[in-house]
Structure 1
Amino acid sequence: MRSTALGDGLDVSAIGLGAMGMSAYYGPTDETEAIATLQHALDIGVTFIDTAEAYGPFENERLIGRAIGHRRDEFVIATKASAEMDDDGTIRGRNGTPEYLRRAAERSLRHLGMDVIDLYYLHRVDPAVPIEDSVGGLADLVREGKVRHIGLSEASAPTLRRAQAVHPIAAVQSEFSLFARDLLSNAEKATADELGIGVVAFSPLGRGVLTERIRSLDELAPDDARRGLPRFQPDAFEANRRLVERVELIARQRGATVAQVALAWILSQGVVPIPGTRHRARLDENAAAAELVLSDDDLRHLAEALPEDEIVGSRDGIDAPAGVDR
């Protein structure tokens, strides 16, 4: 796996691994396979692992600590300060104060069993706290050696500018896929590029829609959180599946899978995808996308096959204007 640069001197594998589903949200989990998948990631060069205190809550960080603690220095571990939570997991709401960010970071270090976090994100901007204060608190953690690099998630272009003026931002993480292209039109990507901030794409496979594996809602577990999302409602899902079938035709012409084409498209935009999976076979499939180079004709055919105005349903049910912190 080749490496790529984010911002602030941070190098990561060109494709990462989102670990959230190993512990939460997508139905039953298998810790044995999850640990095997995390360990296999290193064997194939996928060294950029993404988690958050909210995943579980806390269980995903603990899982990663158990799985890769003995090879910790070979990974780049990213985690996030999420909505304020008590130590028992009770959610209190957003809190971007330096005091809470310190408490959350120290708790994540304990759960991960690590001395330093490679990349620490503010999971969501707190509208009640100036971003300068939040980033200042994160910068203090860098100076103290608890965090190496800092990032933001779903931050608008103006927020990125204000944050970068306080401390170098290594990455901004946003949802980005063929089904979610907002950051190309709301100035977030352009601003990140201008400021030298890397862009990381979560849900790069449209939460599984941009694969050949979910062909029916019946394939989702009853408690799968995706059942509550707009694009996973029956009519929307069927309409969007028809769009994915067009991508399947392009994938077959390239001798690739839909997932690989979708990830290669993200790489062509200069963005680092972190597709989530709980299985080694899917990890191998995703990692192979790093070797797939799409031609100009491929990119044009994808744009024609999947026009944004034909995608049905919002991505997460949050009605926020383009460019506004979510």
Structure 2
Amino acid sequence: MSRREMKKLGSEGLQVSAIGLGCMGMSGGYGPPKPDQDMIKLIHHAFHSGVTHFDTSDVYGPHSNEILLGKALKGLKREEVQVATKFGIIFGEGLGKAEIHGEAEYVRAACEASLKRLDVDYIDLYYVHRIDTKIPIEITIGALKKLVEEGKIKYIGLSEAGPETIRRAHAVHPISAVQLEWSLWTRDAEDEVIPTCRELGIGIVPFAPLGSGFFASGPKLMENLADNDFRKILPRLQGENFEHNKAVYERINEMAQKKKCTLSQLALAWVLHQGDDVAPIPGTTKIENLDQNLGALAVKLTTEDMAELESIASFKGDRMPEQILVHSYKNSDTPPLSSWKTE
């Protein structure tokens, strides 16, 4: 990927590399955290290979992923990097035990803490990680708008937000990007969320574009997962769903062989072919996997190729366990601002 291969997200001027790097797995989630020195080397390699968009969150680690990215940034040209981080989730004990916060005071405190951990003067893209359904979205976005005016953040994003939430947020301050799960593995956002983003001119940042690693490793993915790897509980990787999805994997792999690329490159190319407003952030902790992901930019798909892929990719099972989906875009509506009592 050349340094100049960028995509424009939203109407406010944000540009990011065509493929970004999701950093979550470096600090947990997919098994134990990886050594800092190895991950810094990976981030630097990504930058020198043309990746400028690095995605993290205050909840990854928690906190340690932002610190890691901050260390890596010391060796890069800050003005050429787009740092994306998120706020709003506080994990409790056990899966799905999370508090979601979008109060104005919390927004400011979270931003100040992320700036300190990242050791930067500003955050390029600051996401509402999950929507706080207890308060109007206008309150949360109003606080973010003030941070933009103060120069602490440049652009505002939403993650796992539904159409109505996106519209209401965008009316307060232009939203530059919506982060969502989108891949051959997960396409339900195509019904309403993605059309809403395109109607409003908002960029789209797909996470898990490789099906949480299923497109990279295939059925072997389940053989060596650590006990604390959350993929062990993904419905699509269990029982009958897994057996069905293994067969789908093999059919897609046959097409990849015809295209003379890897299956993961084919799956990522499908996402990249969705439009100039789409900038996926596949995660990895290995340089060879990163290089392979960047190779997806050279994979060209015809309209017929896209249609064939979509007809094959009929996966079974929910994309996440129910206790996580409860905070998804389908449950993101907030109270109307008119009902909110202000002091």
TM-score by length of 2: 0.88
Say which is worse superposed, 71-80 or 144-153, in terms of deviation: 71-80
Residue 239 of structure 1 and its aligned partner are, at CA, apart by 2.1
Residue 273 of structure 1: SS of its match in structure 2?
coil
8 Å CA contact retained: 1:98, 1:134: yes
Indicate yes or no: 2:276 matched with 1:273.
no
Matches within 5 A, 1:124-139: 124-139=130-145
Residue 136 of structure 1: SS of its match in structure 2?
helix
Residue 116 of structure 1 and its aligned partner are, at CA, apart by 0.2
Number of residues of Structure 1 aligned to a counterpart in Structure 2:
318
Given candidates 154, 170, 179, the residue that maps to 1:173 is 179
8 Å CA contact retained: 1:69, 1:113: no
Q: Give the aligned residue type for 1:292.
A: V
8 Å CA contact retained: 1:209, 1:241: no
CA distance in 2, matches of 1:154, 1:129: 16
CA distance in 2, matches of 1:198, 1:255: 30
CA distance in 1, matches of 2:329, 2:159: 15
Given candidates 2, 7, 16, the residue that maps to 1:4 is 7
Matches within 5 A, 1:99-110: 99-110=105-116
8 Å CA contact retained: 2:89, 2:101: yes
Indicate yes or no: 2:211 matched with 1:206.
yes
Given candidates 273, 288, 300, the residue that maps to 1:293 is 300
Structure 1 residues 281 and 213: alpha-carbon distance in aligned structure 2, compared to 1, 3 A threshold: farther
CA distance in 2, matches of 1:260, 1:143: 40
Q: Give the aligned residue type for 2:23.
A: A
The RMSD of aligned alpha carbons is 1.8
Indicate yes or no: 2:79 matched with 1:73.
yes
8 Å CA contact retained: 1:230, 1:313: yes
Q: Give the aligned residue type for 1:42.
A: F
Task: Show CA shifts across 1:95-140 (max 9, x none).
Answer: 1011101100100001001010000000011100101111101111
Matches within 5 A, 1:1-326: 1=1, 2-7=5-10, 8-28=12-32, 29-71=34-76, 72-84=78-90, 93-185=99-191, 187-212=192-217, 215-270=220-275, 271-307=278-314, 311-318=315-322, 323-325=330-332
Residue 264 of structure 1 and its aligned partner are, at CA, apart by 0.8
Residue 216 of structure 1 and its aligned partner are, at CA, apart by 4.6
Residue 225 of structure 1 and its aligned partner are, at CA, apart by 1.4
Q: Give the aligned residue type for 1:181.
A: R
Task: Show CA shifts across 1:5-28 (max 9, x none).
Answer: 101210000110000000011113
Residue 272 of structure 1 and its aligned partner are, at CA, apart by 1.3
Task: Show CA shifts across 1:202-230 (max 9, x none).
Answer: 01111011124552512212221111221
Residue 238 of structure 1 and its aligned partner are, at CA, apart by 2.8
Say which is worse superposed, 267-276 or 9-18, in terms of deviation: 267-276
Residue 68 of structure 1 and its aligned partner are, at CA, apart by 1.8
Q: Give the aligned residue type for 1:99.
A: E
Other-structure match for 2:336: none
Q: Where does structure 2 lack aligned partners over 5 or more consecutive residues?
A: 334-343
8 Å CA contact retained: 1:182, 1:322: no
Task: Show CA shifts across 1:212-253 (max 9, x none).
Answer: 455251221222111122122243223212211111111111
Say which is worse superposed, 68-77 or 258-267, in terms of deviation: 68-77
Structure 1 residues 322 and 45: alpha-carbon distance in aligned structure 2, compared to 1, 3 A threshold: closer
Q: Give the aligned residue type for 2:290.
A: L
CA distance in 1, matches of 2:302, 2:114: 42
Say which is worse superposed, 7-16 or 291-300, in terms of deviation: 291-300
8 Å CA contact retained: 1:217, 1:234: no
